[in-house]
Amino acid sequence: MDRADDAGVYRINDDLALIQTVDFFTPIVDDPYGFGQIAAANALSDVYAMGGTPKTAMNLVGFPLEQMDISILREIIQGGVDKIREAGVVLVGGHSVDDPELKYGLSVTGFVHPDRVLTKQNLKKGDHLVLTKPLGTGIINTAIKGGLASQEIIERITRLMAQLNRKPAEVMSRFEVHACTDITGFGLLGHLAEMVTGSGCGIRLSGHKIPMMAEAREYGQMGFVPAGAYRNREFRENMVEFGRSVDRITQDILFDPQTSGGLLICVSGDDSESLVRKLKNHDIPEAAVIGEVVSTPGEKILVE
C-alpha cells in the first residue's frame, strides 16, 4: 500500500496477506481489568477495520514497579487476556519494562485475503456510510476524570469501549464494502477526512442520524470537551461545513476523539439498509446509516 492505513499489510501469496498492528496507551478508566479489556479491544480493532481476522497477539507493558502493587498489573493483563480469548486470538508472548507511567496494549497479527483488504480509500459515489458505535467517549471520559459521572455511566462506557469490532467485521464481510476504518483519536470527522482526501469524492452527513451518547451532550455543554477535540477541529476545519441546524455541541461530538470506537463502513448504497438490519440483529443496536458519498463538493464533508 502506498498510503498509511489502519495497519500494515504484507502479501505472502495469492490467497494470504499478513496484517500487523500495534497499539498501547495510558489508563483510560480507573478499573484495571476494564483498562486491560479496552486496550485489547482497541488494538484488535485495527485488524477488523482492514477486513482481516486477528490471529496472534503479544502484550506490551510499561509498569511502575516501585510505586504500584503488582496485583494491579495482574488485573490489567487478565482483562486483556480475556478480551483476546473472546476474539479467538492466541496470546503468544509479550514484553514489559519498568516505567514511571503505566501503559498497556498489544501487538497484533492477523490474516486477510489480499483481494479483500479494506483500506480507507476507495470511496465510491453513491456509497453509504454506516457507523457501529455511538460517539462521545472522549467527552464522557473527561467528565469521569472530573469526578462528575455516576458509576453506572462509567460501567456503561467501559463496556462500550471494551466491545470488540469483531461482529461488525464478520457481518460486513458478506456485503459489498468498499472502504472501512475504525473511529479513534481523530474523531468521526477526522477519520472521515482521511477517507475523503485524495478520493475525488465528498461526504454528506445527516447530523441527527449519527448515534451519540446523550451524556456526551450534557457533559459537553458543561465544558468537558477534551483538548483533543479542539485540536481535531483546528486540523480539519477547512474541510468541514456545518449546516445552520447543527449546534455547537453536536460539532464538538463529531470532532470528539474516541477511544476504541466503532467501525465506519463505506458500503454500496443499495446494501446499507440491509447491512444495518443485520448488524442490529447481531447485537449492534446503535448501527446506523449516517451519510453518503457524493461527487461534489469534492474532498469536503458537509454536515446537515
Partner 1 sequence: MSTEIDCRGLACPAPVLKTKELVEQEQPEKLRVIVDNEAARQNVTRFLEYQGFVVSAREEGSDLYVTGHAGEEAGSKPAPVKTAESEEIKQKIMVMVGNDRVGHGDDELGLKLMVSFLNTLKEMGDELWRLVFVNNGVKMTISDSEVLPVLKELEERGVYILVCGTCLTHFDLLEKKMVGETTNMLDIVTAMQLADKVVNI
The residue ranges that bind partner 1 (CB under 8 A) are: 142-143, 145-147, 150, 152, 156, 215, 217-218, 220-227, 229-231, 247-248, 280-281, 285
Q: Which is nearer to partner 1, 174 or 248 (CB)?
A: 248
User: Cβ–Cβ contacts within 10 Å for residue 10, how many?
Assistant: 12
Q: Which is nearer to partner 1, 63 or 224 (CB)?
A: 224
Q: Which is nearer to partner 1, 55 or 280 (CB)?
A: 280
All residues at 6 or more sequence positions from 41 whose CB lies less than 8 Å from its CB, including other chains: 83, 161, 162, 163, 164, 165, 260
Q: Which is nearer to partner 1, 101 or 115 (CB)?
A: 101
Q: Which is nearer to partner 1, 94 or 185 (CB)?
A: 185
User: Cβ–Cβ contacts within 10 Å for residue 159, how many?
Assistant: 12
Q: What is the largest CA-CA distance in the chain?
A: 58
**Shortest gap between Cβ of 212 and partner 1 (angstroms)?**
11
Query: What are phi and psi for residue 234, nearest 5 degrees?
Result: -60, -40
**Shortest gap between Cβ of 40 and partner 1 (angstroms)?**
22
Q: Which is nearer to partner 1, 116 or 248 (CB)?
A: 248
Q: How far apart are CA 302 and CA 291, in angstroms?
A: 10
Q: Which of 292, 279, 153 is nearest to 214 (CA)?
A: 153
Find out whether 304 and 245 touch, Cβ atoms under 8 Å: yes
Q: Which is nearer to partner 1, 116 or 277 (CB)?
A: 277
**Shortest gap between Cβ of 16 and partner 1 (angstroms)?**
37
**Shortest gap between Cβ of 289 and partner 1 (angstroms)?**
18
**Shortest gap between Cβ of 186 and partner 1 (angstroms)?**
16
For residue 75, list its beta bridge partners: none
Q: How far apart are CA 38 and CA 36, in angstroms?
A: 6
**Shortest gap between Cβ of 225 and partner 1 (angstroms)?**
6
Find out whether 259 and 137 touch, Cβ atoms under 8 Å: yes
The three cell numbers locating residue 6: 489502519
The three cell numbers locating residue 18: 499478513
Q: How far apart are CA 162 and CA 242, in angstroms?
A: 31
**Shortest gap between Cβ of 159 and partner 1 (angstroms)?**
9
